[in-house]
């Protein structure tokens, strides 16, 4: 039985620069997989490859055993891939509700408006439904992105630094939300700099440095891994 | 063989001129990120200025050249960069393009004003009459000079960009403007120099070309299209490829000219004359090159635009369209036949403008061809066998919508500026290859029959005007329906962030296609309903430009913005009646309006609407507003006041008095002050409706101007008198600690933010 999302041997070269180097990552249904690494390690590039925004130089991406490496972004989304963005990408001139509604309609939800409102309440911004997205503070905008991603009815949820811009309470609530989403059978792939959040909620963690996966395992294993310590703190 | 060489030389000369123009385009695009639509118009103005010095005033050529290319053109370019374009950083692509389109329109207007066609002598090449023989072909010195210029420009640009400090600063500004700034480069200065140099290059190309094609405004302005085609071969960045593109285009044109003159070349293909082929060649080339461009990559970093986007509500839409119909219906009885026709004309333009709302306003795709689709609608409606019937109208709309989708299909892979250019190329192609055909527009005009609807006589100007207002309203409600539907949300989502749209599963191609088909269909209504003898030049490319401009100025994402744009363009013609000599000002006005967009990218109408918002929430105000309008109409019907007094009175009532009614009736200002302001407004109304404007002012244009003046003075004056809100200047959070000390709470917050305490 293969994982819901399998990234096999993906490399991305920008001219002479190698952004991702032979990366292997997988995300299982029902679990939260953390992807950490210093800035510039290639985390966002890897997300772009997985969602089809950036073509990989080599390697394959499979979703539930099907090779989706050649599909355009929107087809991957329809197969059950949803994501949020490190640098926010909301539909700024639409209302908050419409942001989620668009995604719910694309997913073929029979009652999209109700679903959108329910999802906004679930991530904790239900009261903002009528606001224009462009007027939101960063923290709320991140949560709206999560709600929009959930409206796609995804099998795999990719979150790119969802906690940046959230305060401590909001971050804790986000952690609870992600755990409960995994409990519903979602495969969650989380890029995050907030280490306490990652260590608390992830089942497995992969560490990316200079485009390579240098360590993988449970949070405790990764924390103790010598290469991880080196990547984060520099050579001793 | 002789001929081959001769035409090759012609081609290389033209190509060299295109190369000079195109390199200027590349230089400005790479340094400022703004595609200068006005590049050709700059060259055109430079050529005219040179002609003025050299031929009208008889100055020696070197002095004239030095003045034009060394002083006037660079100053002009630098001025444009500093005054107009520097405000455009961080605005939407649509606004950037529209502003340079505005420049183009203003410059064309200026040239027609300063140099009427009558008094232009022949424009001669350099060293006219001198030639050398190359391979048995006589080549004029002028052609050699053109070629030499291209080589000099190529070498010079290479040296400047790679060997000088300034050039390196220019290239750095392209890569990362902020980083370049931090490192001490002055991207603002580099960009200004680039625009100055680019204007000189445009001028050189314009002067060289004027000797080849003659001193005419439109062909010289369209030099920009050829330059685009060449520059796009270099993807607006690579100068060597730009030169290759320019030479290929020049040669293609020359060989087409040759073929056109040869006996074996068909004069007609399927009843269509091939004589326009050469004229259309640059646009065909542009279209092909654009289509050959690789698929645009989805990019992150959607601009967080400040634009306010309000979903149109049904109640406001129905109220607005109802008011429009009522207004037109009550007006036509009072207007002269000529003015009624003007009104109809404005409404037709408004329908064409409406076609831009879903496409540009919602979906964010700029089209420069709204009137081209309207023209196609007119032609098809006129040529269909059952023309004039409702069925023919529907068939026309369906065909044009299909053409719109078909045109969009290859262009769909393009984004932003490339797409706008593709629609522009399409517009010119249709104008040259179809509208200019004598069997399409016979003797330059086509007879569009009035729509046959039982009980209506649409050949009657008054009925036609009312019908057009109904048609506009109906189409506007269709657009409102779309905006409130799934498709509408998808369009706006695509405009805001194509990347996020794709990641939630949107097929962007389908959405764009729908937007194009819808837009073309609406535009077809404009053409098919503009009945009577219509001329081809009504639908030419240079007519679409001011329309696009004024709609974006009015606010392209609002239906009222479209109405504003269309009617304003119609009124602009009326304004020309003020004083015949002043009519020239009206040629420049739309362009100036477009240029001003840089300061107010939302458009004008949304701001006006904001003033009316309180009225909609206050029932007594609505009742009084309507009652006032009815009283004015009754007074006119009874002959108490004249037609023009009605027009002025109504305009002042609606635009200056009504927005102030809620504050006047239930505002927070003290009673005495409200009473005084009310009396003041009543007095203004008395003047507006009481004076006999028809005898006081002899031109419609002056009367329009009076309306604008009274409204612009009385409305805001009353508003500020009634305004009781106390304004405290907003404190920027960045200034805390600089203009006042931190409070303990702020110190704690700051320490938390940097992680000093938890």
Domain tally, chain B = 3
Sheet holding A212-217, edge to edge: A81-83, A156-160, A187-191, A32-36, A204-209, A212-217
B752 to chain A, any CB pair closer than 8 A? The answer is: no
B307 to chain A, any CB pair closer than 8 A? The answer is: yes
Of B673-687, B716-730, B737-751, highest mean pLDDT: B673-687
Backbone dihedral region for residue B136 (phi beyond 0: left; psi -120 to 50: alpha; all else: beta) = left
Residues B199, B333 share a domain = no
Contacts of A95 in chain B (CB under 8 A): 311
Of B272-276, B298-302, B424-428, B704-708, highest mean pLDDT: B424-428
Question: What pLDDT was estimated at residue B335?
Answer: 77
pLDDT digits (tens, 9 = 90+) for B79-127: 888 877 777 766 777 777 788 888 888 888 888 878 877 656 667 767 6
pLDDT digits (tens, 9 = 90+) for A36-89: 988 888 888 899 999 998 888 899 999 998 999 999 999 999 999 999 998 889
Question: What pLDDT was estimated at residue A186?
Answer: 94
Rounded to whole angstroms, how far apart are CA atoms B605 and B426?
30
Look at B502 and A92 and tell me if their CB atoms are within 8 Å: no
Question: B315 exposed, middle or buried (CB, 10 Å; 0-12, 13-18, 19+)?
Answer: exposed
Nearest CB to A106: which of B309, B499, B504?
B504
The percent of residues above 90 in pLDDT, for chain B, comes to: 15
State the average pLDDT for chain B: 80
Domains by residue range for chain A, with CATH = 1-79+154-236 (3.40.50.300), 81-152 (no CATH)
Residues B649, B507 share a domain = no
Contacts of A119 in chain B (CB under 8 A): none
Residues B346, B242 share a domain = no
Indicate the DSSP class of residue B409.
H
Nearest-CA distance from B312 to chain A in Å? 12
Domain-located, residue B573: no
A103 to chain B: closest CA residue: B504
Look at B504 and A134 and tell me if their CB atoms are within 8 Å: no
Nearest-CA distance from B509 to chain A in Å? 11
**Residue that terminates a domain, selected from B509, B540, B571:** B540
Residues B98, B6 share a domain = yes
Question: What pLDDT was estimated at residue A1?
Answer: 47
Closest by CA position to B88, among listed B75, B74, B102: B102
Beta bridge partners of B540: none
Contacts of B503 in chain A (CB under 8 A): 51, 53, 73-74, 77, 81-83, 89
Look at B489 and A77 and tell me if their CB atoms are within 8 Å: no
Nearest-CA distance from A219 to chain B in Å? 24
Question: What pLDDT was estimated at residue A236?
Answer: 46
Domain-located, residue B560: no
- DSSP secondary structure, A69-133, as one string: TTS-HHHHHHTTEEE--SS----TTSBHHHHHHHHHHHTT-SSHHHHHHHHHHHHT-GGGTTSBG
Look at A85 and B500 and tell me if their CB atoms are within 8 Å: yes
Given CA atoms B191, B192, B195, B200 in this order, what sign does their dihedral have?
negative
Please determine, for residue B303, whether its predicted confidence score (pLDDT) is greater than 60. Answer: no
Question: What pLDDT was estimated at residue A230?
Answer: 78
To probe the interface with A, which of B310, B505, B555, B556 has the most A CB atoms within 10 Å?
Answer: B505
Look at B505 and A151 and tell me if their CB atoms are within 8 Å: no
**Residue that terminates a domain, selected from B540, B557, B576:** B540
Residues B333, B420 share a domain = yes
Nearest CB to A93: which of B305, B500, B508?
B305
More confident residue, B36 or B598: B36
Look at A94 and B489 and tell me if their CB atoms are within 8 Å: yes
Domain-located, residue B737: no
B306 to chain A, any CB pair closer than 8 A? The answer is: yes
Residues B533, B450 share a domain = yes
Helix, strand, coil percentages in chain B from 3-state DSSP, rounded to 5: 75, 5, 25
Nearest-CA distance from B35 to chain A in Å? 25
| Angstrom distances, CA of residue B439 to CA of B276, B385, B447 | 13, 16, 12
Look at A106 and B505 and tell me if their CB atoms are within 8 Å: yes
Domain-located, residue B154: yes
To probe the interface with A, which of B92, B312, B500 has the most A CB atoms within 10 Å?
Answer: B500
Look at A95 and B311 and tell me if their CB atoms are within 8 Å: yes
Nearest-CA distance from B634 to chain A in Å? 44
Domain-located, residue B283: no
Exposure of B236 in the CB half-sphere (CA atoms within 13 A): 19
Specify whether the CB–CB gap between A11 and A58 falls below 8 A.
yes
State the average pLDDT for chain A: 89
Residues B408, B519 share a domain = yes
B503 to chain A, any CB pair closer than 8 A? The answer is: yes
Question: What pLDDT was estimated at residue B435?
Answer: 83
Domain-located, residue B372: yes
Chain B 479-498, residues with CB within 8 Å of chain A CB atoms: 486, 489-490, 492-493, 495-497
B757 to chain A, any CB pair closer than 8 A? The answer is: no
Rounded to whole angstroms, how far apart are CA atoms B589 and B546?
10
- Provide ipTM, 2 decimals: 0.93
Q: What is the CATH number of the domain that holds B250?
A: 1.10.3470
Nearest-CA distance from A84 to chain B in Å? 8
Specify whether the CB–CB gap between B87 and B599 falls below 8 A.
yes
Q: Is B262 helix (H, G, I), strand (E, B) or coil?
A: coil
More confident residue, B32 or A194: A194
Question: B439 exposed, middle or buried (CB, 10 Å; 0-12, 13-18, 19+)?
Answer: exposed
Give the domain extent around B680. Answer: 617-722
A93 to chain B: closest CA residue: B309
Beta bridge partners of B268: B273
Nearest-CA distance from A63 to chain B in Å? 15
B304 to chain A, any CB pair closer than 8 A? The answer is: yes
B297 to chain A: closest CA residue: A53
Contacts of A88 in chain B (CB under 8 A): 304
Contacts of A79 in chain B (CB under 8 A): none
A108 to chain B: closest CA residue: B505
More confident residue, A208 or B161: A208
Rounded to whole angstroms, how far apart are CA atoms A96 and B311?
13
Nearest-CA distance from A51 to chain B in Å? 7
Residues B248, B176 share a domain = yes
Residues B159, B63 share a domain = yes
Nearest CB to B305: which of A92, A148, A151?
A92
Q: Is A177 helix (H, G, I), strand (E, B) or coil?
A: helix
| Residues with Cβ within 8 Å of residue B699, at least 6 apart in sequence | B577, B578, B579
Give the lowest-confidence range in A24-28, B562-566, B612-616.
B612-616
Instruction: Give residue for tokens 């990764």.
Output: A222
pLDDT digits (tens, 9 = 90+) for B204-251: 988 888 887 777 887 788 787 788 888 888 877 788 888 888 889 888
Look at A94 and B309 and tell me if their CB atoms are within 8 Å: yes
Specify whether the CB–CB gap between B276 and B431 falls below 8 A.
no
Domain-located, residue B579: no
Rounded to whole angstroms, how far apart are CA atoms B210 and B223?
10
Nearest CB to A51: which of B305, B497, B503?
B503
Residues B513, B377 share a domain = yes
Nearest CB to B304: which of A78, A92, A148?
A92
B640 to chain A, any CB pair closer than 8 A? The answer is: no
Give the lowest-confidence range in B39-48, B431-440, B656-665.
B431-440
Domain-located, residue B289: no
Residues B628, B506 share a domain = no
Of B58-62, B447-451, B460-464, highest mean pLDDT: B460-464
Nearest-CA distance from B602 to chain A in Å? 12
A75 to chain B: closest CA residue: B505
Residues B344, B227 share a domain = no
**Residue that terminates a domain, selected from B494, B509, B540:** B540
């Amino acid at each position: 039985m293969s994982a819901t999302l399998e990234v096999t041997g993906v490399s991305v070269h920008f001219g002479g620069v190698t952004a991702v180097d032979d990366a292997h990552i997988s995300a299982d249904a029902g679990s939260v997989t953390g992807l950490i690494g210093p800035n510039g390690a290639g985390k966002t590039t890897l997300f772009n490859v997985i969602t089809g925004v950036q073509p990989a130089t080599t390697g394959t991406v499979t979703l539930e055993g099907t090779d989706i490496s050649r599909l355009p972004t929107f087809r991957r989304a329809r197969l059950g891939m949803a994501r949020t963005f490190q640098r926010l990408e909301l539909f700024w001139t639409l209302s908050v509700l419409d942001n989620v509604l668009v995604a719910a309609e694309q997913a073929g939800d029979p009652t999209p408006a109700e679903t959108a409102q329910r999802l906004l309440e679930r991530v904790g911004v239900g009261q903002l439904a009528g606001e224009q997205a462009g007027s939101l503070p960063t923290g709320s905008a991140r949560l709206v992105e999560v709600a929009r991603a959930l409206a796609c009815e995804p099998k795999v949820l990719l979150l790119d630094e969802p906690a940046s811009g959230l305060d401590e309470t909001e971050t804790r609530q986000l952690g609870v939300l992600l755990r409960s989403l995994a409990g519903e059978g979602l495969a969650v792939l989380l890029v995050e700099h907030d280490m306490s959040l990652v260590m608390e909620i992830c089942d497995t963690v992969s560490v990316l440095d200079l485009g390579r996966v240098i360590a993988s395992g449970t949070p405790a294993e990764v924390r103790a891994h010598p290469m991880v310590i080196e990547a984060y703190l520099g050579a001793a | 063989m002789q001929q081959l060489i001769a035409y090759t030389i012609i081609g290389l000369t033209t190509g060299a001129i295109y190369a000079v123009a195109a390199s200027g385009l590349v230089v400005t695009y790479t340094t400022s990120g703004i595609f200068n639509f006005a590049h050709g118009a700059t060259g055109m103005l430079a050529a005219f200025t040179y002609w003025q010095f050299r031929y009208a005033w008889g100055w020696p050529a070197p002095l004239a050249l030095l003045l034009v290319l060394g002083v006037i053109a660079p100053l002009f370019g630098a001025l444009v960069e500093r005054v107009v374009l520097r405000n455009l950083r961080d605005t939407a692509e649509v606004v950037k393009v529209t502003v340079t389109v505005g420049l183009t329109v203003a410059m064309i207007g200026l040239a027609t004003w300063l140099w009427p066609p009558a008094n232009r002598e022949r424009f001669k090449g350099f060293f006219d009459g001198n030639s050398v023989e190359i391979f048995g072909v006589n080549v004029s010195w002028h052609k050699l000079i053109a070629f030499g210029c291209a080589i000099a420009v190529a070498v010079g640009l290479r040296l400047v960009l790679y060997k000088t400090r300034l050039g390196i600063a220019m290239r750095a500004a392209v890569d990362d403007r902020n980083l370049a700034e931090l490192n001490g480069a002055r991207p603002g200065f580099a960009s200004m120099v680039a625009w100055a140099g680019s204007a000189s290059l445009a001028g050189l190309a314009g002067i060289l070309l004027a000797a080849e094609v003659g001193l005419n405004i439109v062909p010289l302005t369209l030099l920009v299209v050829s330059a685009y085609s060449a520059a796009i071969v270099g993807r607006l960045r690579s100068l060597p490829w730009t030169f290759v593109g320019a030479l290929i285009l020049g040669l293609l044109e020359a060989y087409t000219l040759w073929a056109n003159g040869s006996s074996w070349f068909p004069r007609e293909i399927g009843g269509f004359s091939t004589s326009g082929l050469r004229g259309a060649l640059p646009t065909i080339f542009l279209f092909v090159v654009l289509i050959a461009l690789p698929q645009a990559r989805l990019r992150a970093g959607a601009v967080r635009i400040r634009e306010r986007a309000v979903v149109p509500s049904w109640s406001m839409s129905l109220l607005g369209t109802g008011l429009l119909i009522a207004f037109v219906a009550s007006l036509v009885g009072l207007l002269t036949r000529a003015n009624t026709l003007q009104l109809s004309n404005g409404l037709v333009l408004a329908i064409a403008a409406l076609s831009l709302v879903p496409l540009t306003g919602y979906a964010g795709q700029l089209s420069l061809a709204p009137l081209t689709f309207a023209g196609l609608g007119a032609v098809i409606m006129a040529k269909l066998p059952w023309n004039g019937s409702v069925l023919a109208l529907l068939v026309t709309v369906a065909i044009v919508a299909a053409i719109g989708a078909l045109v969009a299909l290859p262009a769909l892979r393009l984004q932003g500026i490339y797409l706008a250019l593709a629609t522009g190329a399409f517009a010119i192609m249709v104008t040259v290859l179809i509208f200019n055909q004598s069997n399409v527009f016979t003797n330059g005009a086509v007879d569009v029959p009035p729509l046959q609807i039982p009980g209506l006589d649409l050949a009657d100007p008054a009925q036609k005007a009312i019908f057009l207002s109904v048609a506009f309203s109906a189409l506007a409600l269709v657009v409102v329906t779309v905006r409130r539907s799934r498709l509408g949300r998808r369009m706006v989502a695509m405009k805001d962030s194509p990347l996020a749209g794709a990641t939630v599963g949107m097929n962007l191609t389908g959405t764009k296609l729908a937007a194009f088909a819808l837009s073309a269909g609406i535009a077809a209504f404009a053409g098919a309903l503009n009945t009577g003898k219509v001329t081809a030049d009504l639908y030419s490319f240079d007519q679409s430009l001011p329309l696009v401009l004024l709609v974006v100025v009015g606010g392209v994402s609002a239906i009222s913005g479209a109405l504003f744009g269309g009617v304003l363009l119609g009124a602009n013609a009326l304004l020309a009646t003020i004083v015949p000599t002043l009519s020239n000002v009206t040629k420049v006005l739309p362009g100036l309006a477009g240029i001003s967009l840089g300061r107010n990218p939302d458009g004008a109408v949304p701001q006006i609407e904001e003033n009316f918002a309180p009225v909609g929430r206050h029932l007594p105000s609505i009742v009084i507003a309507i009652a006032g309008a009815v009283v004015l109409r009754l007074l006119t019907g009874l002959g108490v006041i004249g037609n023009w007094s009605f027009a002025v009175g109504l305009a002042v009532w609606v635009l200056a008095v009504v927005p102030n009614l809620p504050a006047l009736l239930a505002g927070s200002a003290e009673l005495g002050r409200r009473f005084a302001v009310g009396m003041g407004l009543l007095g203004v109304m008395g003047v507006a409706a009481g004076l006999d404007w028809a005898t006081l002012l002899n031109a419609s244009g002056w009367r329009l101007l009076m309306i604008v003046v009274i409204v612009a003075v009385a409305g805001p004056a009353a508003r500020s008198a009634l305004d009781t809100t106390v304004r405290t200047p907003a404190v920027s959070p960045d200034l805390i600690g600089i203009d006042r000390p931190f409070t303990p709470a702020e110190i704690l917050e700051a320490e938390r933010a940097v992680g000093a305490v938890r």
